[in-house]
Structure 1
């Protein structure tokens, strides 16, 4: 029980450090939460963690601000492997057709985590996008969204995808949401990971 508690605390620390160090631009320490083969999946990026760090730094230089707030975690342990689900919000500020807006998306981080040489690290981070909204920073501003363009994006991250495409990102349109085949597939992959199978990504 004592070792399990230590492992759970280490994994929760890993999850929290990801958000703090990434949002603070502490790139050297942010790189330490990943294993060398770690993969990040997001609406606007899918690929190796080292490339995610690089393109995030490039976005920072252009003024892109995507921030994270964490809630509770549920951690499943199986020896040197774990799956952690953590409630979170993603907040992005940007221009939407001339109006400065905040988009907030609520969801979960679904993480495939492994202990290697005594160190826990991320192998795969896959967000689940549950619901989102967009609001003008100035509440008196009038915001007119392209409803046809909005309808082309999944409901769970529709507004987030809209603002990201407005600033030039290509958005993946089949990310897991609160319900549906993609999130069910992700849960199966998590079960397989804990059973010792190779990591699978959507």
Structure 2
């Protein structure tokens, strides 16, 4: 297959993951990864099988649901391996102290992808967090009061409000979340490039 076709297929893979994840299409979501694929995000690190089980347990049948807006990935292909790095916005709605809020988290996904008999599949995905924000669905003095009275300072700035929202839903934050510009983020990218070039 030619390079242009590979780029299209890997881009479609990235977009399919977001749609299947948000819509709760679990068998299709599993098909975006290899059987032994792994994923690391703010609240989870482990196999795609376990990730899907955890997502399924909290999935809402009716919106508002979480949503992943995934940008066009920057893809590097070498033989049957590829890396794909893409911007993502993670959108979530929650209610804090009776106030409806929207949380927008800005991050990147760094994927390792391989060509299989079933097509391109993700072997590993790691999220790198950049910044986020919290907005009221309806502006109010109650929201302003909530923001001024709530202590968010124990959560790193890159995922502060996302972290707070996840905690409020009973999810625990991982201790080794990757933050943009950190040594861990630099190492993640360097290791992905080495993996791409490996025999």
TM-score normalised to structure 1 length: 0.89
Q: How many residues are aligned here?
A: 195
Going from structure 1 to structure 2, the CA distance change for 1:95 and 1:31 (only over 3 Å counts) comes to same
Going from structure 1 to structure 2, the CA distance change for 1:118 and 1:31 (only over 3 Å counts) comes to closer
Q: Deviations over 1:132-157 (max 9, x none)?
A: 00112121252324654x22222111
Distance 1:169 1:42 in 2: 12
Q: What SS class does the counterpart of residue 59 from structure 2 fall into? A: helix
Q: How does 1:1-202 map to 2 (within 5 A)?
A: 3-61=2-60, 65-117=65-117, 119-140=119-140, 142-143=142-143, 144-145=146-147, 147-148=150-151, 150-196=152-198
Going from structure 1 to structure 2, the CA distance change for 1:62 and 1:171 (only over 3 Å counts) comes to farther
What's the CA shift for 1:39?
0.8
Going from structure 1 to structure 2, the CA distance change for 1:169 and 1:118 (only over 3 Å counts) comes to closer
What's the CA shift for 1:173?
3.7
Give yes or no for contact 1:175–1:182 (8 Å, CA) kept in 2: no
Q: Deviations over 1:134-189 (max 9, x none)?
A: 112121252324654x2222211111001111111101143222211111111121
Give yes or no for contact 1:76–1:84 (8 Å, CA) kept in 2: yes
What's the CA shift for 1:95?
2.1
Moved more, 123-132 or 91-100: 91-100
TM-score normalised to structure 2 length: 0.90
Q: What SS class does the counterpart of residue 177 from structure 2 fall into? A: coil
What's the CA shift for 1:66?
2.1
- Unaligned regions of 5+ residues in structure 2, if any? none
- Unaligned regions of 5+ residues in structure 1, if any? 198-202
Going from structure 1 to structure 2, the CA distance change for 1:58 and 1:4 (only over 3 Å counts) comes to same
Give yes or no for contact 1:128–1:177 (8 Å, CA) kept in 2: yes
